[in-house]
Structure formats: C-alpha cells, structure tokens
Amino acid sequence: MSLIFDFLFGQYAEYETYQIVLESIAVFFGLISAIFSWRNSIWVYPTGIISTSIFVYLLWQWGLLGDLIIQGYYFIMSIYGWYIWTRKVAPEKHTPITNATLKDHKTALLISGVALLGVFVVYTIFDKWNSWTAYVDTLTTAIFFAGMWMLAKRKVANWMYLLAGNIISVPLYFYKGYTLSSLLYIIFIGISILGYRAWKKHLNSDQVIA
C-alpha cells in the first residue's frame, strides 16, 4: 500500500504545504462545479470561478502556461456562461438546453483554431516546446475551449467535447505530477457521461411538452 501511495502522491513531497491545500480546495470546488453542471444548476459557475481562480494562481507558480490558459479561459467563460444562463429569452423563461447546430460546431472549430494559435504563440515566446506534453497541451486547450463555449450556450454537445478533453487530461496531469487533479479528471469522465444523458433526457422531455 505504501508503494502505491508513494507512486501516486510521492511528488507532493516537493511542494509547499499551502500549495497542496490550495490544489485540494480547487479540486473540491471543481468537482462540485461539475456536479452542478450535470444537474443543470446555475451554481456551476460561482463554484467554478472559485476553482479556476485557485488553479490560475497555482499554475502560474508551477509555470504550466498551457494549463493556465485553459483555467483562465474557464474563468472568463464562467462569467459569460453565468450571464447566458440567467438571461431570459422570453418572459419567465431562461436560455434553454438545445442541440448544437452545424453553425455551432463551426464556431466551436473556429474557437479551437484560435486557441491552438494562441497557445502556439505563447509557448514559442516563452520557449515551452521542450516536452511532448506541450503538444498535448495545445490539443486539450483547443478541445476545452470549444467545450466550455458549448456549455455556456447550453448545448448538449458540450459534454462530448469535455469528455474528450477529460480522457486526455487524466494521464497528462498524472505524468506532470498532479495526482489530485488527475483523479479529478477521472471523476469528470463519469460526470461527462452522466451529464450528457441527463441533458438529452431534459431536452427530449421539453420537446415532448412543446
């Protein structure tokens, strides 16, 4: 058991205690935020803002620019999504859950392209192309940028984008030495599947009522 624990968490021996505490808090609020998202609750955003704020601070200290860009974007999209989810599109009716259109997917593709270009420029300026993880970072950044935009727009397809990003992030964060975050992404995989099913069920029930 000790060998397994050391394998999973041995890297934390090099971290400051406050960093471990902050990552634990960020992971906790990230999990709560994902659950609220699955439940289609507006609380996905205030809890997400707490989590992303902490992660931005930690990732800046650790020099993980790609991950920092993702979390910074999450923070911005949380504010944007909070507005979209509370905006009334009709009297007494807030922005509904809908299927993504071809135009939505094209917009998501454009957002992904801009994200790839942005990460490329940042990594080139700061000379971060020194590991294979940098190339994977660009991929996950592009996927998560599109997924978070879809989430803000309350598109069911957001879960497919986030699922892909979560699957890639599990081994990526573990390799980087952030086991707590890696474990969080394992949970995110399950929540992505449950969230997709729940949102599809909600959408189908709305269509029947209509």
Return contacts of 191-195, CB within 8 angstroms, 24+ apart: 191/34, 191/35, 191/37, 191/38, 192/159, 192/162, 192/163, 192/166, 193/159, 193/163, 194/38, 195/34, 195/37, 195/38, 195/159
Q: Is residue 202 within 8 Å of 97, Cβ to Cβ?
A: yes
Q: Mean pLDDT across the stretch 115-132?
A: 90
Mean pLDDT of 149-174: 95
Q: How far apart are CA 31 and CA 192, in angstroms?
A: 12
Report the DSSP beta bridge partners of residue 88: 94
Q: What percent of the chain clears pLDDT 70, i.e. is strictly above it?
A: 89
Q: Which of 8-22, 40-54, 57-71, 119-133 has the highest mean pLDDT?
A: 40-54
Confidence of residue 209 (pLDDT cuts 50, 70, 90): very low
Distance CA 159, CA 192 (A): 5
| Domain containing residue 201 | 2-209
* Mean pLDDT computed over 133-162: 95
Q: What gap in Å lies between CA 134 and CA 192, rounded to an integer?
A: 25
Average pLDDT, the chain: 89
Which pLDDT band, with edges at 50, 70 and 90, does 204 fall under?
confident
Identify the band that residue 126 occupies on the pLDDT scale cut at 50, 70 and 90: confident
Q: What is the distance between the alpha carbons of residues 5 and 125, in angstroms, rounded to a whole number?
A: 38
Is residue 115 a contact partner of residue 145, using CB atoms and an 8 Å limit?
yes
Q: What is the pLDDT of residue 93?
A: 62
Q: What angle do CA 73, 79, 85 make, to 5 degrees?
A: 120
Using one digit for the tens of pLDDT, what is the confidence trace for 64-120? Answer: 888 888 899 999 999 999 998 987 655 556 678 999 999 999 999 999 999 999 999
Phi/psi class of residue 92: alpha, beta or left (left: φ > 0; alpha: ψ in -120 to 50)? left
Task: At 39, give phi and psi (nearest 5°).
Answer: -85, 5
When divided into structural domains, the chain yields a total of 1
What distance in Å separates the CA atoms of residue 22 and residue 6, rounded to the nearest whole number? 20
Q: Which residue has the higher pLDDT, 72 or 5?
A: 72
Query: Rounded to whole angstroms, what are the CA distances from 59 to 52, 160, 173, 197?
Result: 10, 26, 12, 32
| pLDDT tens per residue, range 179-198 | 888 999 999 999 999 999 99
Distance (Å, rounded) from C-alpha 119 to C-alpha 92? 41
Query: Exposed, middle or buried: residue 92 (CB in 10 Å: 0-12, 13-18, 19+)?
Result: exposed
- For the cut 80, the answer to whether the pLDDT of residue 3 exceeds it is no
Model pTM above 0.75: yes
